[in-house]
Amino acid sequence: MEDNLTEDGNRGIVFNIQRFSIGDGPGIRTTVFLKGCPLRCPWCANPESIRLEREIILGSEKCAKDGRCVEACPQGAISLADDRWGMDWRKCDYCLKCAEVCLSRRIKIVGTEMTVEEVIKEVMKDESLYRRTKGGITLSGGEPLLQWQFALALLQEAKRKGLHTALDTSGYAPWNMMEKIADYTDLLLYDLKHTDSEKHRQAIGVPNRQILDNLKKIAANNKKVWIWRPLIPGFNDSEEEMERFCDFTLALGPAVEKILLLPFHKFAELKYRAIGRVSPYQDMPLCSGEKVEELKRLLESRGLKVDVGK
């Protein structure tokens, strides 16, 4: 965490606040996206969320080509020659000086330092909608637990305001952090990618024992859970793995209200290019509609409620 962010959790880094969300929990909601994630999922849909620190992203706006960014960059990462603008991402150290002088907004900063009060003020703009639709606030990311003190403070203040709270999480955090946050969370949107710890480690970089153990404890405490299940071809979309997933989920008991299948997509490829990276799964085939329906029927045949995300 950056030095100027408070240890008591009053200040954190937010990279988006999305109003009128309808898929991140019940009712109409405001989803607050916190920056930073300890996992490295190669199919990540928000690659700009992975780094905890603020960074730059290239927008679609037309470049003014006035050379201000070239002069501001201490690393010489930006060039403007023959009316062609270029960025050498290998030289960029994310000092943000180029974005600070960009008048056309072609270069933008991803991540804003905000206080709890500032975030909640934005969230409360739609208080009447939450009341009418039984909606509320959802914390997402990135991984909100990487800024767990800030996430906890946000959830505590949201509960003081009488809002329904939800947390979209991978569950990859020490239990003492998860337990504190769960006390102020009405619904956990739990991203469960695989049941096999070694395959999880090979694909994502960490084993999943902590993730599974945390989910078991949450369910034992009768917290409401919706399990997000990404469907990644060749990784977790086999019938055998889905059967193991069913066995694990059913053992959690009635705390799990439903499963949301999230078929792999490539909507994030433009984002990867905009932050100077290459999507690791740019050549990965998409899940067929038939395959998704087959897995949905399998889960439903075991007595689980299932929705399919877009």
Query: pLDDT tens digits, residue range 245-285?
Result: 999 999 999 999 999 999 999 889 999 999 999 998 988 88
Asked whether the beta carbons of 252 and 223 are under 8 A apart, the reply is: no
Beta partners for residue 136, in sequence order: 29, 164
State yes or no: pLDDT of 82 exceeds 90. no
pLDDT at 287: 87
Residue 200 one-letter amino acid: H
Report CA 256 to chain centroid distance, whole Å: 20
Q: Reduced to 3 states, what is the DSSP secondary structure of residue 59?
A: coil
Helices (H), 63-147: 68-72, 97-101, 116-123, 127-133
109 has pLDDT over 70: yes
Same-fold call for 11-52+112-308 versus 55-110: no
Look at residue 1 and tell me whether its pLDDT is greater than 70. Answer: no
**Is the model's pLDDT at 298 over the cut of 80?**
yes
pLDDT tier for residue 5 given thresholds of 50, 70 and 90 = low
Which two three-digit tokens encode residue 120?
Answer: 């909640």
Using CB atoms within 10 Å of the CB of residue 306, give its burial: 0 to 12 exposed, 13 to 18 middle, 19+ buried.
middle
In percent, the amount of the chain with pLDDT more than 90 equals 89
Q: What is the CATH number of domain 55-110?
A: 3.30.70.20
Determine the CATH number of domain 11-52+112-308.
3.20.20.70
Average pLDDT over residues 150-178: 97
Average pLDDT, the chain: 94
95-116 mean pLDDT? 95
Which of 5-9, 75-79, 162-166 has the lowest average pLDDT? 5-9
Tell me the whole-structure pTM to 2 decimals: 0.93
Distances from the Cα of 145 to the Cα of 3, 29, 141, 179, angstroms: 18, 20, 9, 11
Q: What is the mean pLDDT of residues 157-163?
A: 97
pLDDT band at residue 218 using 50, 70 and 90 as cut-offs: very high
DSSP string spanning 243-290? HHHHHHHHHTGGGEEEEEEEE---TTHHHHHHTT---TTTTPPPPPHH
pLDDT in tens, 30-80: 999 999 999 999 999 999 999 999 999 999 899 999 999 999 999 999 999
Alpha helices in 79-187 (DSSP H): 97-101, 116-123, 127-133, 148-160, 175-182
Angle at 241 between CA 235 and CA 247, to 5 degrees: 145
Domain boundaries, the chain: 11-52+112-308, 55-110
Residue 189 is predicted with a pLDDT of 98
